[in-house]
Amino acid sequence: MRGYGPDDMSTRFDLTSEQADFLERIDTFAREELYPHAQRMDDEDWFPDDFFKRMGDAGFLGVSVPTEWGGQGLSIFEGGLILQALGRWNHGLALAYLCHDSLCMNTILRNADDEQKQWALPDLCAGTKVGALAMTEPEAGSDLLGSISTTARKDGDGYILNGTKKFIGNGPTADILMVMTRADPQGGLSAFMLPSDSPGFEVVRNIEKMGFRGTTWGELSFENCRLPAESLVGGWNRGHRVIMRGLDIERALAAGIGLGIAERALELCVERAKERRQFGKAIGNYQLIQDKLAGMYVRVETMRTMTYRALAAAEDTAYDQGGVGEIHKLTAAAVLYVGESLNWILNQAVQIWGARGYAWEYEINRLFRAIKVLEIGGGTTEVRKLIIGQELMR
Ligand SMILES: Cc1cc2nc3c(=O)[nH]c(=O)nc-3n(C[C@H](O)[C@H](O)[C@H](O)COP(=O)(O)OP(=O)(O)OC[C@H]3O[C@@H](n4cnc5c(N)ncnc54)[C@H](O)[C@@H]3O)c2cc1C
């Protein structure tokens, strides 16, 4: 794993030539192969079933998973570049990718034993199976660690799960799920990995979203769901550690999606400002419009620097770290800045597009409806501020 040296990403401000080539490759793939699906996904809440398989075939799944488990043996940083490119061209698929590759696969990679990895990772890396991570519940949102009430009870050499999970990305369509539970009788947290055909597991419903449409997102139930002993991941009552290890990485990767959306919004606005003529001139000639474009540009560039810094730092996070210290503060700050800036950027962008910005059928409107989630998912803006404040006061 890379350390903090003078040649390291954390002290540089741009991509290496290999990383720039990688971004170019995934950007071309996303523009040519995935962008054509974006409108239909938004209009019909439809998902292209071959997405994960095509990403696997193209070598874009399991980027940070070692090759022995079927992955690409690259790094979390490349995972962020993939999300940046997907964010630019089809953010709905970026969310599905995050839930599969980062939330589910990374959690398995960092916490499971070799036998469990062999069971799950090759199929997830090939895209022949889809993954999800189910933590949130109707009564367990921001206070996740304190409020999880889905129970796991020891039963002979196995476990029995009962409870409900809600707002789970890929949940309704996943083949392999990581699930966070609380020991019954009331105790610590434990993580389980299970196939979706486990008896007692059921998809209650898919929940319709205002943005990032097409990606499935739903409510799941466990009713006397019996799992074998080998389903327990990371140890009994060790779930707290499993969650905290992954959250910082998720935040750095989610910032990549926001960066891609912001880049695309700026591009669409510059094009529009050059094309749209009112009062005899292209609107981009008016300084009030240039003021908006300049503000967008400054925020996009700052987002890029913070996102790449957070990704580089997440890359350097050892397997047993995360959930505390510099990486916790930096990743929270990156995604906080990205989420808040996206709100400002898309508000200006719709203004530049005028009535077209307000019409569902335009791309800029799709981006506008999407971005609020960057302030909610994976820990809200308020929770990120609490993290930064607590770390500064430590
Ligand atoms: C598109 C999308 C995909 C998601 N995917 C997944 C997934 O794959 N897996 C999964 O497990 N979860 C997923 N989630 C759930 C997500 O992680 C939660 O929505 C998030 O943790 C916030 O919880 P909540 O929505 O219940 O908000 P709440 O916790 O109910 O918060 C409501 C409001 O109160 C504020 N608040 C709460 N506590 C405090 C406090 N102490 N101080 C100040 N303000 C506070 C919050 O910031 C927020 O503004 C997803 C959510 C979305 C929107």
Higher per-residue confidence, 320 vs 109: 109
Task: Delimit the CATH 1.20.140.10 region(s) of the chain.
Answer: 239-393
CB-count burial class (<10 Å; 0-12, 13-18, 19+) for 42: buried
pLDDT at 13: 67
Query: Given a cut of 90, is residue 186 above it in pLDDT?
Result: no
340 is catalytic: no
Q: Which residue has the higher pLDDT, 242 or 223?
A: 223
Contact 362, 235 (CB under 8 A): no
Q: What percent of the chain has pLDDT over 70?
A: 95
pLDDT at 6 over 60: no
The CATH fold assigned to 239-393 is Butyryl-CoA Dehydrogenase, subunit A; domain 3 (1.20.140)
Please list every protein residue whose CB sits less than 6 Å from any atom of ligand 1.
99, 103, 133-136, 141-142, 167-169, 212, 217, 373, 376-380, 382-383
What pTM value is reported for the model?
Answer: 0.95
Span 43-58, average pLDDT: 97
Residue nearest to atom 27 of ligand 1 (CA): 141
How much is the pLDDT for 7? 44
Residue 160 tokens read as 């029995």
- Please answer whether residues 166 and 137 qualify as being in contact, where contact means their C-beta atoms are separated by less than 8 angstroms: yes
Q: Indicate the pLDDT class of residue 325, thresholds 50, 70 and 90.
A: confident
pLDDT at 116: 98
- Residue 277 host element (H or E): strand 277-278
Domain boundaries for CATH 1.10.540.10 within the chain: 9-129
Catalytic residue among 219, 250, 315, 375, which? Answer: 250
pLDDT at residue number 2: 34
Amino acid at 172: P
Q: Which CATH number fits domain 133-233: 2.40.110.10, 3.90.1150.10, 2.40.420.20, 3.40.630.30?
A: 2.40.110.10
- Kindly indicate the confidence band of residue 14, based on its pLDDT and cuts at 50, 70 and 90: confident
Q: Which residue lies with its CA nearest to atom 44 of ligand 1?
A: 382
Substitution site in 147, 167, 203, 206 for ligand 1 pocket (most atoms within 8 Å of beta carbon): 167
CATH 1.10.540.10 fits 9-129, yes or no: yes
* Mutation choice for ligand 1 from 376, 381, 384, 388, CB with most ligand atoms inside 8 A: 376
Ranges for all domains in the chain classified under CATH 2.40.110.10: 133-233
For ligand 1, the distance from its centroid to the CA atom of residue 353, given in whole angstroms, is 31
Rounded CA gap, 237 and 254, in Å? 28
pLDDT band at 8 (very low <50, low <70, confident <90, very high): very low
**Nearest atom within ligand 1 for CA of residue 99:** 8
CA 170 to centroid of ligand 1, rounded, Å = 17
C-alpha 147 – ligand 1 centre gap (Å): 12
Average pLDDT, the chain: 94
Alpha helices in 127-238 (DSSP H): 144-147
Residue 297 has pLDDT above 70, yes or no: yes
